[in-house]
Structure 1
Amino acid sequence: MRCKDQISLLSSLTLLTVFCFGCSGSGTEVQLENVSGVVTMDGKPLADAVVVFVPEKGNPSTAQTDAEGKYQLAHRGNAMGAIPGKHKVLITQGQPPAPEIDPDADMSEIDPETEAGLEDVGNEESSNPNANSGKKNPIPAKYNSNTTLTAEVKAGENTIDFKLESK
Protein backbone atom coordinates (compact mmCIF):
# COMPACT_ATOMS: atom_id res chain seq x y z
CA MET A 1 0.00 0.00 0.00
CA ARG A 2 2.84 2.30 0.71
CA CYS A 3 3.96 2.15 -2.91
CA LYS A 4 0.45 3.06 -4.04
CA ASP A 5 0.45 6.16 -1.79
CA GLN A 6 3.86 7.22 -3.09
CA ILE A 7 2.72 6.90 -6.71
CA SER A 8 -0.41 8.88 -5.95
CA LEU A 9 1.60 11.60 -4.19
CA LEU A 10 4.18 11.68 -6.99
CA SER A 11 1.42 11.97 -9.61
CA SER A 12 -0.23 14.81 -7.68
CA LEU A 13 3.06 16.69 -7.31
CA THR A 14 3.83 16.22 -11.01
CA LEU A 15 0.42 17.60 -12.02
CA LEU A 16 0.78 20.51 -9.61
CA THR A 17 4.23 21.35 -10.99
CA VAL A 18 3.00 21.21 -14.60
CA PHE A 19 0.00 23.36 -13.68
CA CYS A 20 2.18 25.98 -11.93
CA PHE A 21 4.66 26.21 -14.79
CA GLY A 22 1.80 26.37 -17.28
CA CYS A 23 0.23 29.30 -15.44
CA SER A 24 3.38 31.33 -14.95
CA GLY A 25 4.26 33.61 -17.84
CA SER A 26 0.81 33.21 -19.34
CA GLY A 27 1.27 36.35 -21.43
CA THR A 28 -0.41 38.78 -19.05
CA GLU A 29 2.63 41.04 -19.13
CA VAL A 30 2.88 43.20 -22.22
CA GLN A 31 5.80 45.12 -23.62
CA LEU A 32 5.30 48.86 -23.14
CA GLU A 33 7.15 51.80 -24.63
CA ASN A 34 7.25 55.29 -23.11
CA VAL A 35 5.01 57.80 -24.88
CA SER A 36 4.78 61.50 -24.09
CA GLY A 37 4.10 64.69 -25.97
CA VAL A 38 2.24 67.98 -26.11
CA VAL A 39 -1.33 68.64 -27.26
CA THR A 40 -2.14 72.09 -28.63
CA MET A 41 -5.38 73.60 -29.94
CA ASP A 42 -5.00 76.44 -32.45
CA GLY A 43 -1.35 76.79 -31.40
CA LYS A 44 -2.05 77.04 -27.65
CA PRO A 45 -1.43 74.30 -25.04
CA LEU A 46 -4.58 72.28 -24.36
CA ALA A 47 -4.94 71.73 -20.60
CA ASP A 48 -7.07 69.02 -18.97
CA ALA A 49 -7.53 67.01 -22.16
CA VAL A 50 -7.77 63.22 -21.99
CA VAL A 51 -5.53 61.42 -24.49
CA VAL A 52 -6.34 57.77 -25.29
CA PHE A 53 -4.17 55.49 -27.44
CA VAL A 54 -6.14 52.42 -28.60
CA PRO A 55 -3.91 49.66 -30.03
CA GLU A 56 -5.05 47.20 -32.68
CA LYS A 57 -4.89 44.47 -29.98
CA GLY A 58 -4.76 44.89 -26.22
CA ASN A 59 -5.78 47.47 -23.65
CA PRO A 60 -5.64 51.22 -24.31
CA SER A 61 -3.26 53.66 -22.61
CA THR A 62 -4.42 57.03 -21.32
CA ALA A 63 -3.15 60.34 -19.97
CA GLN A 64 -4.42 63.76 -19.00
CA THR A 65 -2.65 66.88 -20.19
CA ASP A 66 -1.28 69.39 -17.70
CA ALA A 67 -1.55 73.20 -17.92
CA GLU A 68 1.18 73.22 -20.61
CA GLY A 69 -0.59 70.55 -22.70
CA LYS A 70 2.01 67.88 -21.80
CA TYR A 71 0.99 64.25 -21.35
CA GLN A 72 2.62 60.90 -20.52
CA LEU A 73 0.70 57.70 -21.22
CA ALA A 74 -0.12 55.11 -18.54
CA HIS A 75 -1.27 51.55 -19.22
CA ARG A 76 -3.51 49.61 -16.78
CA GLY A 77 -2.69 50.76 -13.31
CA ASN A 78 0.77 52.11 -12.60
CA ALA A 79 2.53 50.79 -15.71
CA MET A 80 3.75 53.64 -17.86
CA GLY A 81 3.68 53.55 -21.66
CA ALA A 82 1.75 52.03 -24.52
CA ILE A 83 1.83 48.79 -26.49
CA PRO A 84 4.12 49.09 -29.54
CA GLY A 85 2.36 49.31 -32.90
CA LYS A 86 -0.38 51.30 -34.60
CA HIS A 87 -2.92 53.12 -32.45
CA LYS A 88 -6.13 55.02 -32.97
CA VAL A 89 -5.88 58.21 -30.89
CA LEU A 90 -8.77 60.01 -29.20
CA ILE A 91 -8.45 63.41 -27.53
CA THR A 92 -11.31 64.93 -25.58
CA GLN A 93 -12.14 66.95 -22.53
CA GLY A 94 -14.26 65.42 -19.80
CA GLN A 95 -14.34 61.65 -19.73
CA PRO A 96 -12.84 59.81 -22.71
CA PRO A 97 -15.06 58.11 -25.28
CA ALA A 98 -15.26 54.34 -24.85
CA PRO A 99 -12.61 52.81 -27.09
CA GLU A 100 -13.12 49.46 -28.78
CA ILE A 101 -11.29 46.97 -26.60
CA ASP A 102 -9.80 43.62 -27.50
CA PRO A 103 -12.34 40.98 -26.38
CA ASP A 104 -9.43 38.94 -24.94
CA ALA A 105 -8.16 41.91 -22.92
CA ASP A 106 -8.11 41.83 -19.12
CA MET A 107 -11.03 44.04 -18.10
CA SER A 108 -10.89 43.22 -14.39
CA GLU A 109 -9.81 46.76 -13.50
CA ILE A 110 -12.60 48.54 -15.39
CA ASP A 111 -15.23 50.17 -13.20
CA PRO A 112 -18.59 49.95 -15.02
CA GLU A 113 -19.93 52.90 -13.00
CA THR A 114 -17.35 55.27 -14.52
CA GLU A 115 -17.42 53.72 -17.98
CA ALA A 116 -21.18 54.26 -18.50
CA GLY A 117 -22.24 56.90 -20.98
CA LEU A 118 -18.79 57.54 -22.48
CA GLU A 119 -20.03 57.09 -26.03
CA ASP A 120 -21.95 60.36 -25.64
CA VAL A 121 -18.77 62.46 -25.38
CA GLY A 122 -18.32 64.44 -28.57
CA ASN A 123 -19.50 67.82 -29.74
CA GLU A 124 -23.03 67.31 -28.48
CA GLU A 125 -24.46 67.93 -25.04
CA SER A 126 -23.94 64.84 -22.90
CA SER A 127 -26.66 63.24 -20.84
CA ASN A 128 -23.97 61.79 -18.53
CA PRO A 129 -23.71 64.12 -15.50
CA ASN A 130 -20.07 63.09 -14.96
CA ALA A 131 -18.99 63.98 -18.49
CA ASN A 132 -17.58 67.50 -18.50
CA SER A 133 -20.41 68.81 -16.25
CA GLY A 134 -22.86 69.04 -19.18
CA LYS A 135 -20.64 71.51 -21.06
CA LYS A 136 -20.10 71.26 -24.79
CA ASN A 137 -16.83 69.55 -25.67
CA PRO A 138 -14.62 72.23 -27.29
CA ILE A 139 -12.59 69.60 -29.14
CA PRO A 140 -14.02 68.70 -32.57
CA ALA A 141 -15.41 65.19 -33.04
CA LYS A 142 -12.71 64.41 -35.65
CA TYR A 143 -10.31 64.12 -32.69
CA ASN A 144 -12.52 61.98 -30.42
CA SER A 145 -15.86 60.32 -31.25
CA ASN A 146 -15.06 60.35 -35.00
CA THR A 147 -11.29 60.39 -34.66
CA THR A 148 -9.00 60.61 -37.64
CA LEU A 149 -5.89 60.63 -35.43
CA THR A 150 -3.42 57.74 -35.49
CA ALA A 151 0.03 57.17 -34.04
CA GLU A 152 2.78 54.58 -34.28
CA VAL A 153 4.45 53.56 -31.01
CA LYS A 154 7.98 52.30 -31.62
CA ALA A 155 10.61 50.71 -29.41
CA GLY A 156 12.25 53.22 -27.04
CA GLU A 157 11.15 56.72 -26.13
CA ASN A 158 8.29 58.16 -28.21
CA THR A 159 7.49 61.87 -28.36
CA ILE A 160 4.19 62.30 -30.18
CA ASP A 161 2.71 65.80 -30.35
CA PHE A 162 -0.80 66.64 -31.54
CA LYS A 163 -1.63 70.00 -33.12
CA LEU A 164 -5.41 70.26 -33.13
CA GLU A 165 -7.48 72.89 -34.94
CA SER A 166 -10.83 74.01 -33.54
CA LYS A 167 -12.30 74.43 -37.03
Structure 2
Amino acid sequence: MLRHVTYLVAIVSLATLTLGCQPQRQDAAKFPVQGTVTLDGKPMPKGIIYFKTIATGSVDAMDIVDGKFSGEAEPGERRVEISAFRPVPSATPGMGEGEENFIPAKYNTKSTLSADVGTDKQLEDFQFAVTSK
Protein backbone atom coordinates (compact mmCIF):
# COMPACT_ATOMS: atom_id res chain seq x y z
CA MET A 1 0.00 0.00 0.00
CA LEU A 2 2.81 2.40 0.93
CA ARG A 3 4.48 1.58 -2.37
CA HIS A 4 1.32 2.59 -4.30
CA VAL A 5 1.05 5.86 -2.39
CA THR A 6 4.73 6.66 -3.05
CA TYR A 7 4.25 5.87 -6.74
CA LEU A 8 1.15 8.10 -6.90
CA VAL A 9 2.94 10.99 -5.16
CA ALA A 10 5.83 10.68 -7.63
CA ILE A 11 3.45 10.83 -10.63
CA VAL A 12 1.58 13.84 -9.24
CA SER A 13 4.87 15.62 -8.48
CA LEU A 14 6.20 14.95 -11.98
CA ALA A 15 2.97 16.17 -13.54
CA THR A 16 3.04 19.34 -11.46
CA LEU A 17 6.66 20.01 -12.41
CA THR A 18 5.92 19.42 -16.09
CA LEU A 19 2.93 21.76 -16.10
CA GLY A 20 4.81 24.41 -14.15
CA CYS A 21 7.68 24.42 -16.65
CA GLN A 22 5.57 25.11 -19.73
CA PRO A 23 6.62 28.30 -21.51
CA GLN A 24 4.11 31.11 -21.15
CA ARG A 25 2.50 32.08 -24.45
CA GLN A 26 3.12 35.71 -25.18
CA ASP A 27 0.62 37.49 -27.36
CA ALA A 28 2.18 38.82 -30.52
CA ALA A 29 2.55 42.56 -30.89
CA LYS A 30 -0.29 44.22 -32.74
CA PHE A 31 -0.29 47.42 -34.75
CA PRO A 32 -3.08 49.86 -35.63
CA VAL A 33 -4.91 49.38 -38.93
CA GLN A 34 -7.89 51.05 -40.50
CA GLY A 35 -9.43 51.35 -43.91
CA THR A 36 -12.42 51.19 -46.16
CA VAL A 37 -14.32 48.45 -47.92
CA THR A 38 -16.56 49.15 -50.88
CA LEU A 39 -19.18 46.76 -52.22
CA ASP A 40 -20.10 47.30 -55.86
CA GLY A 41 -18.57 50.79 -55.68
CA LYS A 42 -20.40 51.91 -52.51
CA PRO A 43 -19.35 51.73 -48.84
CA MET A 44 -20.17 48.26 -47.48
CA PRO A 45 -22.98 48.86 -44.96
CA LYS A 46 -22.00 46.08 -42.57
CA GLY A 47 -19.53 43.20 -42.61
CA ILE A 48 -16.43 41.64 -41.10
CA ILE A 49 -12.82 41.84 -42.25
CA TYR A 50 -10.25 39.27 -41.19
CA PHE A 51 -6.48 39.64 -41.31
CA LYS A 52 -5.14 36.05 -41.31
CA THR A 53 -1.80 34.31 -41.18
CA ILE A 54 -2.73 30.89 -42.52
CA ALA A 55 0.55 29.19 -41.51
CA THR A 56 0.12 30.03 -37.82
CA GLY A 57 -3.67 30.22 -37.59
CA SER A 58 -3.50 33.81 -36.36
CA VAL A 59 -6.66 35.84 -37.05
CA ASP A 60 -7.49 39.47 -36.31
CA ALA A 61 -11.14 40.39 -37.00
CA MET A 62 -12.76 43.82 -37.22
CA ASP A 63 -16.30 44.97 -37.90
CA ILE A 64 -17.01 46.93 -41.06
CA VAL A 65 -19.58 49.68 -40.48
CA ASP A 66 -20.57 52.13 -43.22
CA GLY A 67 -17.57 50.99 -45.25
CA LYS A 68 -14.99 51.61 -42.52
CA PHE A 69 -13.00 49.37 -40.19
CA SER A 70 -10.34 49.96 -37.56
CA GLY A 71 -8.49 47.92 -34.99
CA GLU A 72 -5.18 46.17 -34.47
CA ALA A 73 -3.47 43.39 -36.39
CA GLU A 74 -0.30 41.37 -36.08
CA PRO A 75 2.50 42.53 -38.39
CA GLY A 76 3.56 40.93 -41.63
CA GLU A 77 1.96 39.75 -44.83
CA ARG A 78 -1.65 38.86 -44.00
CA ARG A 79 -4.37 37.27 -46.09
CA VAL A 80 -7.49 39.42 -46.03
CA GLU A 81 -10.98 37.92 -46.01
CA ILE A 82 -14.18 39.93 -46.17
CA SER A 83 -17.65 38.64 -45.30
CA ALA A 84 -21.13 40.16 -45.08
CA PHE A 85 -24.31 38.39 -44.11
CA ARG A 86 -27.98 38.72 -45.01
CA PRO A 87 -31.05 36.93 -43.69
CA VAL A 88 -32.43 33.94 -45.57
CA PRO A 89 -35.66 32.10 -44.85
CA SER A 90 -35.28 28.73 -43.21
CA ALA A 91 -36.09 25.63 -45.23
CA THR A 92 -37.61 24.16 -42.07
CA PRO A 93 -41.03 25.62 -41.18
CA GLY A 94 -41.07 27.32 -37.79
CA MET A 95 -37.28 27.69 -37.58
CA GLY A 96 -37.17 31.41 -38.46
CA GLU A 97 -34.48 32.98 -40.58
CA GLY A 98 -30.85 32.06 -40.94
CA GLU A 99 -27.97 34.02 -42.43
CA GLU A 100 -25.79 33.57 -45.48
CA ASN A 101 -22.53 35.17 -46.51
CA PHE A 102 -23.36 36.86 -49.80
CA ILE A 103 -19.81 37.99 -50.59
CA PRO A 104 -18.25 35.66 -53.21
CA ALA A 105 -15.64 33.14 -52.01
CA LYS A 106 -12.92 34.95 -53.99
CA TYR A 107 -13.02 37.58 -51.22
CA ASN A 108 -13.14 35.22 -48.23
CA THR A 109 -12.56 31.44 -48.23
CA LYS A 110 -10.62 31.63 -51.51
CA SER A 111 -9.31 35.15 -51.06
CA THR A 112 -6.26 36.46 -52.85
CA LEU A 113 -6.52 39.83 -51.08
CA SER A 114 -3.56 40.68 -48.87
CA ALA A 115 -2.21 43.40 -46.62
CA ASP A 116 1.31 44.01 -45.40
CA VAL A 117 0.89 45.23 -41.83
CA GLY A 118 3.92 47.28 -40.79
CA THR A 119 5.90 47.09 -37.59
CA ASP A 120 6.55 50.75 -36.88
CA LYS A 121 3.38 51.59 -34.89
CA GLN A 122 2.30 53.92 -37.71
CA LEU A 123 -1.40 53.62 -38.52
CA GLU A 124 -1.85 51.49 -41.64
CA ASP A 125 -4.67 52.56 -44.01
CA PHE A 126 -6.03 49.94 -46.42
CA GLN A 127 -8.70 50.08 -49.13
CA PHE A 128 -10.48 47.02 -50.48
CA ALA A 129 -13.07 46.91 -53.27
CA VAL A 130 -15.32 43.86 -53.57
CA THR A 131 -18.22 43.01 -55.84
CA SER A 132 -21.31 40.96 -55.12
CA LYS A 133 -20.81 38.93 -58.30
Same-fold call, TM > 0.5?
yes
- Do residues 159 (structure 1) and 125 (structure 2) align? yes
Candidates 140, 149, 166, aligned match of 2:113: 149
- How far 1:142 moved relative to its partner? 0.3
Over 4 Å off, 4+ runs: none
Q: Higher strand proportion, which one?
A: 2
User: RMSD of the alignment, in Å?
Assistant: 2.9
Residue of structure 2 in register with 1:63 after alignment: 62
- Percent identical pairs in the alignment equals 33
Partner of 2:35: 37
Partners of 1:37 and 1:165 lie apart in 2 by: 17
5+ long unaligned stretches in structure 1 = 1-18, 74-80, 95-124, 128-132
Query: Structure 2 length as normaliser, TM-score?
Result: 0.65
Q: Distance in 2 between matches of 1:39 and 1:126?
A: 29
TM-score of the superposition, structure 1-length normalised?
0.53
Q: How many residues align?
A: 105
**Quick check: which one's helix share is greater?**
1
Listed one character per residue, the Cα deviations across residues 84-139 of structure 1 (whole Å, up to 9, x for unaligned) are 00111111113xxxxxxxxxxxxxxxxxxxxxxxxxxxxxx999xxxxx5344321
Work out whether 1:54 is the aligned partner of 2:52: yes
Structure 2 counterpart of 1:101: none
Distance 2:90 2:57 in 1: 28
Q: Secondary structure at the match of 1:134?
A: strand
Aligned mates of 1:134, 1:166 — CA distance in 2:
19
Unaligned runs of 5+ residues in structure 2 are 1-19, 92-96
Match of 1:82 among 54, 73, 76: 73
Q: Name the amino acid aligned to 2:79.
A: K
